[in-house]
Amino acid sequence: MPLLHHIDYPPSKKTMDFSSLNTMSPHRFGLIAFDFDGTLADSYAWLVAALNQLAPQYGFRSVSPADEPELRQLGASAILRRLELRFWKRPLVLRALRQRMAQDIAQISLFPGVAELLDVLATGPAPLAIASSNARENIAQVLGTARLVHFERLECGIGLGGKAARLRALRRRYRLAPGELLYIGDEIRDLQAARAAGAASGAVTWGYNHPDALQAQRPDYLFHQPSDIARQLGLELR
């Protein structure tokens, strides 16, 4: 689960040339998996407030607006070190965030264009999955019944550093060769997990990490808006 609220960044020169990246075959992938927070759901405005409310209880630094530009260049572990959140407290804070989100779930919504993207991807040849640190109940509430049915598999409640293992499990379940699973996320750790699991990586620039930080990880695909994902898969939004 990301740590800061959403900021719209203009595409930089390093990320502007979408045509320079790989072009997907619509039949290349045996499974397309998504991160949730920051990729499908715009939960950051809620999340930064929740973190700052939890900071006194768990003894870590709160996040100020002045901190955000620097923090958005960093991976999750580096951010937690900057916030001085002790290692043994991290699972406790993550659990507390999931519980708070369940109470405030009406404040969380999908990013514009994501619902339409999921409707179109559901008509394509590859099944869909989610691999997220968020709770299954929260994800189901935000997606709603109409979009939840598009997903064949939900891997939820993943601890920090646990995504690569879940992605490898998905590859085994679907009997996918290296590169036949596409994992799309908004954080450095999403791209690192995809690489460690032998999956292709897709980065979205509308989420947590700055586009330059994502580009530095050399993702296989870079997307500036949801329609880019459909278009690169040979599909068009209705």
User: Is residue 43 a contact partner of residue 37, using CB atoms and an 8 Å limit?
Assistant: yes
DSSP 98-167: HHHHHHTGGG-EEPTTHHHHHHHHTTSSS-EEEE-SS-HHHHHHHHHHHHHTTEEEEE--PPTT-HHHHH
**Cα 129 from Cα 208, distance rounded (Å):** 20
Burial 103-119 (b: 16+ CB within 10 A, else e): eebeebebbebbbebbe
Residue the block writes with tokens 């507390």: 96
Collapsing DSSP to helix, strand or coil, 170 comes out as: helix
Per the annotation, the verdict on 35 as an active-site residue is yes
What does the block give as tokens for 93?
A: 């804070």
- Indicate the DSSP class of residue 37: B
Catalytic one among 35, 37, 186, 228? 35
CA–CA dist 211, 158 (Å, integer): 24
**Catalytic center residues:** 35
